[in-house]
Chains A and B, each alone.
Chain A
């Protein structure tokens, strides 16, 4: 398995532009997580889906952020409009939730820079 795949790996954009981050979870996993990592705040959960349904989006900073999971093999995180304070590394992780252990597998991340 290729693991969790994220694209793009790096994104540089200007303030006010729309940014879309993409994630392909591990095949067979039923949960998907979006995280943001910064030096100041560490690793923060933004939203997670179970069976393609958003379960907890309380970590989404504001209405400029939105996430979708149209099917079990694809998810997007969109920022519109982007602001410099959104600069961070965004990770996608997937997991198979069925009781007991639920290790999350992380992708390589997307480093976003908003100028």
Chain B
């Protein structure tokens, strides 16, 4: 799920298929991760989160998997729908010290769902 410059990685899937969006995070000390969805012209919206003491968390049609060994995060969307078309960002919290709350965002992956 990383990108350089102007080009976002793009994932194109057929409606009804499952989607998997990947993200490599940078800090092994990160203890909390979030996936956001951003539709065109809108702000990022929370999808699902996971703490570092877990390796899997499920929501409605979405599952997040965390592999701390290789610092990898993935978002699985079941039965992808046209409304899922958006840019998806992973974010990590690398410094939690009571008053700290900074999230570091990845560059994003564009999901395109073909009807």
List residues of A whose CB falls within 8 A of some B CB: 4, 31, 39-40, 42-43, 45, 48, 50-51, 55-56, 91, 93, 95, 97, 99-109
Task: Known contacts A42-B107, A43-B105; decide if A108 and B42 are in contact (CB<8 Å).
Answer: yes
17 A-B pairs in the complex with CB atoms less than 8 angstroms apart: A4-B43, A42-B106, A42-B107, A43-B89, A45-B102, A45-B104, A48-B101, A56-B102, A99-B98, A100-B32, A101-B49, A101-B51, A102-B32, A103-B49, A104-B103, A105-B46, A106-B44
Distance in angstroms between the alpha carbons of A39 and B93 in the assembled complex? 23
* Interface Cβ pair total, 8 Å cutoff: 59
**B99 within 8 A of partner (CB):** yes
List residues of B whose CB falls within 8 A of some A CB: 3, 5-6, 32, 34, 36, 42-46, 49, 51, 89, 93, 98-108
Distance in angstroms between the alpha carbons of A104 and B42 in the assembled complex? 15
Q: Which 10 A-B pairs have the closest CB atoms?
A: A106-B43, A43-B105, A97-B101, A42-B107, A50-B99, A106-B44, A102-B101, A103-B46, A109-B43, A31-B101
**CB atoms of B51 and A55 under 8 A apart:** no
Besides the contacts A97-B99, A99-B98, A109-B43, what 14 more A-B pairs have beta carbons closer than 8 Å? A39-B6, A43-B44, A45-B102, A45-B103, A55-B99, A91-B43, A91-B44, A101-B51, A102-B93, A103-B46, A103-B49, A104-B103, A106-B36, A106-B43
Chain A residues with CB below 8 A from B34, complex form: 103-104
Distance in angstroms between the alpha carbons of A45 and B94 in the assembled complex? 14
**CB atoms of A106 and B101 under 8 A apart:** no
Distance in angstroms between the alpha carbons of A95 and B42 in the assembled complex? 18
Chain A residues with CB below 8 A from B46, complex form: 103-105
